[in-house]
Amino acid sequence: MKAKLKVSVIIPVYNVEKYLRQCLDSIVNQTLREIEIICINDGSTDSSLQILEEYAAKDERIIVLSQENKGVSAARNKGLKIARAPYVYFVDSDDWIDLSCLEKLYAKMLETKADICPLGIWAYDNTLKKIENNHYFDMTCFQNRPSEICRWPDIKSVIFRRWGPFFQGCRTEFLRQHNILFPDRVKYEDVMFHIKSMILAEKIAFCDENLAYYRRNRPQSIMELSKNDDMVFDAFIFLQESYDFLHQQNIYADLQSEYAKFVLGQLNFHLSRMAPQFKEDFIAKANDFCRSRNLTNCWRQYPQLYPLYEKVFGSPYKVSVIIPVYNVEKYLRQCLDSIVKQTLREIEIICINDGSTDSSLQILEEYAAKDERIIVLSQENKGVSAARNKGLENIHAPYVMFVDSDDFIAATMIQTLYDAITENSVEVAVCNIQCFEQNASDTAIRNVEEGMQVWFNRYAKTDGIYEIPQKIRQEICSVAWNKIYQTEIIRKYKLRFPPGLIQEDEYWLWAYMIHCRNYCYINQKLYYYRQRAESIMGTKDSSPKILDFLEIQRLVYEEVRKYKNILRYKVDLMNFYQDNARRILSKINPELYPNMLDKIRNYTLHCNASYKMLNFYRQMKQQMSVSKGSQNTKSTKQ
């Protein structure tokens, strides 16, 4: 009496004479003997059929079926139709399995009464002849499952991963009950089989061990052939079928984020592999597909999807505008109005509410409700540097600008600077600045030509392309907000503003500019700067924060030394440091002399221990001593 069958193994076979024996050997020698091995020859033109018949003559468990070439789906479906065992496992004829695979898989499914049971797979690189533990193929994605028996809601983050019938054993009656078959005459036939079985299974068990071997990078495999064939467009078939299936099951809302990630991942995968002649049509079809299913802006709802979105479609924006906001309710509307009305529409507006205690946040939310380009982020009060840094962590455009929330910009500023940086092959573009009266009304702006405007005017020059000078600070105005920058440079060098310090723009100017060759200057006053007493720039020189100037200079020195030959910049940096120190000394409260002297000593020891700097330190120490003595004398007389 024959033993009762436990597992049906289904193997579609097409022109795999080089690999077929390894596959069959791994199956006929399984520790689980109660199996049937259904081999479907799909019209092979090599010796695959002869090899099958050779093995069948030696092992009565092998059943050989033949058909004209109809594809892997038809072959698997044919095998599934005649399968007699309670469980079924699919093996591709160029792969092979561990000798204990079927015994362990059967034991797990029998014990748990599971409908399906995912198992781990080893990746075998056919080019390198090397077995790899690839996390896409192993069971890593299931390691956080809540229990040993699950349904899809328990593991929904991985529902759309690891498709391929060889990734799981299935209960035969479960597949027949739900009519789960492989779609005929369609490439990527594994996808819908996987999705349907995962969603419809009442019990999913797990076999965490790697028990099979998947052969990658094999010439003439379907995955390899699809790179240079218009079969890549079949991807839209399974994307549509999966979309329809989720709606039929009334679970699309529950899986919308996962489905969006799945779609973008698939589009990116195929785009990265396909022949160049298909890319334009593929992207156009991808745009239509995503737009009609409301996926074009899915990354707004699920920001973690943006990297995938960008790889497929590129950035939807040309420029990211970063606006740090803190208690500027009096000026914020004017600032935002000037940005949302820019002639360049493809911008994202990232507003960082830095713990405002007035109505600034409410104003931001009001504008964001009307304009989807506006992104509002909030944090506790950490200062303008931390706010800008938060903005930099969330940019999506290839170019970046900064606008302070109490200022405003000309309607053409972003377009003008964008054209300048993109058309002239420069790393930064700069425009001129106009100061205006602090209390000027929104409708009647009175330009101011004294004070800060005199300083800004020092940096004005004729329109043109200029080399980044060695004396950066003397030729380029050290503010962050009248310029446009390349996101690529910012990301490459991980540039950020120094948190907690004023004069942060001074550091930013150097940190960015040392990586540039040229800049474009536009002699148009496109940025309108409002100076007010309560602003950071309005901080009095007698404030302890004035010592931040010296710390900024130290950070600048360290940044330049990291990337450049510091000897070229050493003298200029020292002269600028000394000029700042002298100015600070003339303003600072004598109580802060020890702190100031410590900073100068640290700069001298760690940055520039030249004779001139050592001598400068002695001079400053002496001058402080004299000044303090003079102050004490005045106090005694009073």
Q: Which two three-digit tokens encode residue 524?
A: 């148009």
Q: How large is the average pLDDT for residues 556-572?
A: 91
Tell me: pLDDT of 446 over 70.
yes
Same CATH topology for 7-228 and 319-530: the answer is: yes
Tell me: pLDDT of 146 over 50.
yes
Tell me: pLDDT of 221 over 70.
no
Phi/psi of residue 356, nearest 5 degrees: -60, 145
Q: What local confidence, expressed as pLDDT, does residue 630 receive?
A: 61
Q: Which two three-digit tokens encode residue 329?
A: 């309710």
Q: What local confidence, expressed as pLDDT, does residue 232 receive?
A: 86
State the pLDDT confidence band at 537, using cuts at 50, 70 and 90. Answer: very low
Q: What local confidence, expressed as pLDDT, does residue 88 receive?
A: 98
Q: What local confidence, expressed as pLDDT, does residue 220 receive?
A: 57
Return the CATH number of the domain spanning residue range 7-228: 3.90.550.10
Tell me: pLDDT of 37 over 50.
yes
Tell me: pLDDT of 533 over 60.
no
In angstroms, the CA 609 to CA 71 distance is 76
Q: How large is the average pLDDT for residues 613-636?
A: 76
Q: Give the least confident one: 79-88, 154-163, 338-347, 349-358.
A: 154-163
Q: What local confidence, expressed as pLDDT, does residue 1 receive?
A: 40
The candidate with the shortest Cα–Cα distance to 270, out of 238, 235, 305, is 235
- pLDDT above 70 coverage of the chain, percent: 93
Beta strands in 487-577 (DSSP E): 518-530
In angstroms, the CA 623 to CA 567 distance is 29
Q: What local confidence, expressed as pLDDT, does residue 93 receive?
A: 97
CB 444 within 8 A of CB 456: no
Q: How large is the average pLDDT for residues 533-559?
A: 75
Residues in contact with 54: Cβ distance below 8 Å, sequence separation at least 6, in sequence order: none
Q: How large is the average pLDDT for residues 395-401?
A: 95
Phi/psi of residue 14, nearest 5 degrees: -150, 110
State the pLDDT confidence band at 545, using cuts at 50, 70 and 90. Answer: confident
pTM > 0.85: no
Q: Give the least confident one: 251-255, 333-337, 396-400, 573-577.
A: 573-577
As beta bridge partners, residue 528 has: 408, 434
Residues in contact with 276: Cβ distance below 8 Å, sequence separation at least 6, in sequence order: none
Q: How large is the average pLDDT for residues 29-54?
A: 98
Q: What local confidence, expressed as pLDDT, does residue 632 receive?
A: 54
| CATH architecture classification, 319-530 | Alpha-Beta Complex (3.90)
Q: pLDDT tens digit string along 596-607?
A: 999 999 998 888
The candidate with the shortest Cα–Cα distance to 35, out of 68, 66, 2, 12, is 2
What are the sequence ranges of the domains in the chain? Answer: 7-228, 232-313, 319-530, 548-637
State the pLDDT confidence band at 534, using cuts at 50, 70 and 90. Answer: low
Q: What local confidence, expressed as pLDDT, does residue 295 receive?
A: 85
In angstroms, the CA 99 to CA 85 distance is 19
Phi/psi of residue 264, nearest 5 degrees: -65, -40
- What amino acid is encoded at 386 in this protein? A
Q: How large is the average pLDDT for residues 616-623?
A: 91
Q: Distance of CA 176 to CAs 179, 184, 347, 553, Å?
A: 5, 17, 53, 74
Tell me which H or E stretch contains 466: strand 464-467
Q: What local confidence, expressed as pLDDT, does residue 322 receive?
A: 98
CB 539 within 8 A of CB 441: no
Q: In terms of pLDDT, which residue wins out, 532 or 3? A: 3
CB 64 within 8 A of CB 72: no
Residues in contact with 531: Cβ distance below 8 Å, sequence separation at least 6, in sequence order: 435, 438, 448, 451, 452, 537, 538
Q: How large is the average pLDDT for residues 383-390?
A: 97
CB 274 within 8 A of CB 232: yes
Q: What local confidence, expressed as pLDDT, does residue 379 receive?
A: 97
Q: What local confidence, expressed as pLDDT, does residue 539 receive?
A: 46
State the pLDDT confidence band at 442, using cuts at 50, 70 and 90. Answer: low
Q: Give the least confident one: 78-87, 271-280, 432-441, 453-462.
A: 432-441
Q: What local confidence, expressed as pLDDT, does residue 638 receive?
A: 47
Q: pLDDT tens digit string along 468-518?
A: 988 887 889 999 999 999 999 999 999 999 999 988 999 999 999 999 999
Q: How large is the average pLDDT for residues 8-15?
A: 97
The candidate with the shortest Cα–Cα distance to 446, out of 341, 332, 531, is 531
State the pLDDT confidence band at 47, using cuts at 50, 70 and 90. Answer: very high
Tell me which H or E stretch contains 247: helix 235-248
Q: What local confidence, expressed as pLDDT, does residue 538 receive?
A: 46
Tell me: pLDDT of 361 over 50.
yes
Q: pLDDT tens digit string along 94-126?
A: 999 999 999 999 999 999 999 999 999 999 999
Q: What is the mean pLDDT of the chain?
A: 90
| Three-state secondary structure call for residue 531 | coil
Query: 510-538 burial string, b = 16+ CB within 10 Å, else e?
Result: bbbbbbbeebbbbeebbbbbbbeeebebe
Q: What local confidence, expressed as pLDDT, does residue 576 receive?
A: 85
Q: Which two three-digit tokens encode residue 398?
A: 């290839």
Q: Which two three-digit tokens encode residue 456?
A: 């800004």
Report strand pairing: 428-436 vs 399-402: unpaired
Q: Give the least confident one: 94-108, 235-249, 446-460.
A: 446-460
Q: How large is the average pLDDT for residues 149-153?
A: 96
Task: List the alpha helices (DSSP H) in 249-347.
Answer: 256-273, 276-292, 298-301, 306-313, 332-340
In angstroms, the CA 120 to CA 210 distance is 4
Q: What local confidence, expressed as pLDDT, does residue 498 receive?
A: 96
Q: What local confidence, expressed as pLDDT, does residue 631 receive?
A: 58
State the pLDDT confidence band at 440, using cuts at 50, 70 and 90. Answer: very low
Q: pLDDT tens digit string along 255-298?
A: 999 999 999 888 888 888 888 899 889 988 988 998 888 887 77
Q: Which two three-digit tokens encode residue 435?
A: 């100061």
As beta bridge partners, residue 431 has: 522
State the pLDDT confidence band at 637, using cuts at 50, 70 and 90. Answer: very low
